[in-house]
Structure 1
Amino acid sequence: MFEQIIAGIEGRIGGPARKVVVDRGVKPDNARHELGRHNPKVVIPLGREGIEMVAAGNPDVPVIAGAILHPSPSTARFHTTVTLNTDPLLLFGRLKSVAPATKRIIVIHDPNKSEGVIRAANDAAGQLGLDLTVIKVRDRRSAAWMYEAVFSSIDGSKDVVWLPTDTTTVDDTVILPLILEQSWKRSFPVISSTPSHMERGVLLALYPDYSKIGNALGSIAIDAVGGGARNGAVFSRQVQAAVNERTARHLGLKLSDDLRRQFDAVFPALAPLSR
């Protein structure tokens, strides 16, 4: 992931970037020394450790952060933070193109993991005329119970379950198989922000295009050096889209040739896993 992002940055700025590998537990004095030694015009930390190191160094140049799912307190004073979370407006818009009868999206999430993206999802749903049902939980056991409650009343003709990037409510070994089994049995769509879910029966997913995210980070860095305005934390709009054609057929959804060409990947799909 980092290599693809860095390649995208270098492609945008038209030359090599100076790369510094960060060890965990870097002390603030060491961070300031490292930043001072290179005398950069702009700094682009990637990942949690890189961001913490740069924050500790407190540089007086613009900082453009990337390669994290959720902003942290350390990123609050940065020029811009581009998260790996896909803009929900893109995901929901793509859903409407595949399943136009959709009326309601149901999401179960842990506020400690995904509160920011849920706020954006509420706005996105409103723009697209969709209802967003948000259910908050604090642990995986509660998440499993709430999914069971949702399954008992879901209407597959108009309801969709969304799996956010939330490790509390989307566990690949227990909860995901449960969701996919019920999706197949009760014929309701599931959408995700995780590409590995596609082969297991999710209808569609939008996920980061790391090279293009690098391009975006490079563009923001160039703009920041020129005095461009701060952007704060933003969601990624540099994404790839995948659809599971076998799941679509099972749900009675037809993918036209034109619609199929709008996806970066079309999966033949596997049968959903049983518990």
Structure 2
Amino acid sequence: MRKEIYKLLKTSIIFFSCSTFAKDPQVAIIYSTEALGNPAYAQVIAGIEQINSHVQRIESTGDSNNLISILEGAHADRVIALGKGIVDAIYKTQYRERTLAGLMYFNPTEFSGVGLALDNRVLVEHLARLLPSVKRIFVVQQSHFQTIDYVPSNLKPSATMEVREGVDSLDTIRVLGRLLDEVTASDAIFIPANLPKNILYEVAKAAWDKKVILLSTNLSHLENGALIAAYPDDFALGEQLGRLVNRPNPVYENIKVIKFALNRRVAQHLAIEFDPIVLDSFALKIK
């Protein structure tokens, strides 16, 4: 009996020692010097630092040879690269396997990390609360510029979501034009995030006349006819990236936390009234 107690105590001491002295990964956050003026970067970095205790910020011009020298000097176990230029440069080096990408659109076959594309399942769940009268949600986007990822779900949503994609910008505009002829006031359309301004004006005018709800993943569209804009919570995006650092294998995730903004003038035109609690849930409201 005494031997069994001794073995148990010995095992406990070893486990406690390993847990106590386990080394947190050294994390290097790499971003371009040009990105410093973008407030999204500061929020994402703050979110990463909220989760990870050993973080080093590194500004870079994006030159691959310079990056290798910097990363070797940083002795980083994991790298979080922010922005397309920096991610592309690092993925040409031997550090690609330990690098997580952020603040850019990409798919699971390209990079590991958190892509900016929003998850359709999360969107439908939120929109069921914000716009319960909507029965169909259409997503119009360019096949090589997808701001919403469509993932099939077994759950029966309150509104159906259908994705319609164009092969290029012009084809996507044609897809949107045909859809505007089909939809009714009980439908909502996510318009392409990269829609040209002159086309956006025509689309907003047609939707206004038909009283069709326009949604967007581009916050600037809120001032040009969209009722609601959905966009990432940058601080939460940083926290999400920070948690992935401890995952043993490369992984891709969509944005988990989404903010919503509202155009009150468009809501008034569409005769949509929000419950005060729902209205308070919008991170931004413009008149």
Instruction: Name the TM-score, length of structure 1 as normaliser.
Output: 0.79
CA distance in structure 1 between the aligned counterparts of 2:154 and 2:220, rounded to whole angstroms: 25
SS in 1 for 2:59: coil
Instruction: State the Cα distance separating 1:232 from its structure 2 match.
Output: 1.9
Q: Are the counterparts in 1 of residues 228 and 261 from structure 2 also a CA contact under 8 Å? A: yes
Q: Who is 1:234 aligned against?
A: 253
Q: Who is 2:49 aligned against?
A: 10
Q: Identity over aligned residues, as a percent?
A: 21
Instruction: State the Cα distance separating 1:247 from its structure 2 match.
Output: 1.5
Say what the alpha-carbon RMSD is for the aligned residues: 2.5
Write the letter of the residue equivalent to 1:155: T
1:170-181 aligned at under 5 Å gives the runs: 170-171=195-196, 173-181=197-205
Question: What runs of 5+ residues in structure 2 fail to find an aligned partner?
Answer: 1-39
Q: Who is 2:20 aligned against?
A: none
Aligned residues: 248
Which stretch of the first structure deviates more once superposed, 104-113 or 52-61? Answer: 52-61
CA distance in structure 1 between the aligned counterparts of 2:270 and 2:56, rounded to whole angstroms: 50
Distance 1:203 1:141, change over 3 A: same
Distance 1:134 1:241, change over 3 A: closer
Q: Who is 1:52 aligned against?
A: 88
Instruction: State the Cα distance separating 1:251 from its structure 2 match.
Output: 1.5
CA distance in structure 1 between the aligned counterparts of 2:153 and 2:203, rounded to whole angstroms: 24
CA distance in structure 1 between the aligned counterparts of 2:198 and 2:96, rounded to whole angstroms: 46
Q: Are the counterparts in 2 of residues 68 and 83 from structure 1 also a CA contact under 8 Å? A: yes
Q: Who is 1:272 aligned against?
A: none
Residue-by-residue CA offset, 1:224-259 (whole Å, 9 max, x unaligned): 1xxx34362211123221122222222122111111
CA distance in structure 2 between the aligned counterparts of 1:133 and 1:113, rounded to whole angstroms: 17
Q: Who is 1:152 aligned against?
A: 181
Write the letter of the residue equivalent to 2:233: D
Q: More strand by proportion, 1 or 2?
A: 2
Q: Who is 1:98 aligned against?
A: 130
Which stretch of the first structure deviates more once superposed, 235-244 or 66-75? Answer: 66-75
CA distance in structure 1 between the aligned counterparts of 2:252 and 2:212, rounded to whole angstroms: 33
Distance 1:146 1:230, change over 3 A: same
2:169 pairs, out of 126, 140, 154, with 140
Q: Are the counterparts in 2 of residues 209 and 238 from structure 1 also a CA contact under 8 Å? A: yes
Distance 1:46 1:194, change over 3 A: same
CA radius of gyration, larger in:
2
Question: What runs of 5+ residues in structure 1 fail to find an aligned partner?
Answer: 269-275
Residue-by-residue CA offset, 1:60-95 (whole Å, 9 max, x unaligned): 8732221111237551xxxx4111222222322222
SS in 1 for 2:215: strand
Q: Who is 2:7 aligned against?
A: none
Instruction: State the Cα distance separating 1:214 from its structure 2 match.
Output: 1.4
2:232 pairs, out of 193, 204, 208, with 208
Distance 1:182 1:46, change over 3 A: same
Residue-by-residue CA offset, 1:154-188 (whole Å, 9 max, x unaligned): 211x21111244x3xx22x1221122111111001
Q: Are the counterparts in 1 of residues 60 and 67 from structure 2 also a CA contact under 8 Å? A: no
CA distance in structure 1 between the aligned counterparts of 2:162 and 2:154, rounded to whole angstroms: 10
SS in 1 for 2:76: coil
2:218 counterpart of 1:194: yes
Q: Are the counterparts in 1 of residues 137 and 162 from structure 2 also a CA contact under 8 Å? A: yes
Q: Who is 1:256 aligned against?
A: 275
SS in 2 for 1:179: helix
Q: Are the counterparts in 2 of residues 87 and 235 from structure 1 also a CA contact under 8 Å? A: yes
1:62-73 aligned at under 5 Å gives the runs: 62-71=98-107
CA distance in structure 1 between the aligned counterparts of 2:182 and 2:204, rounded to whole angstroms: 16
Q: Who is 1:21 aligned against?
A: 59
SS in 2 for 1:112: coil
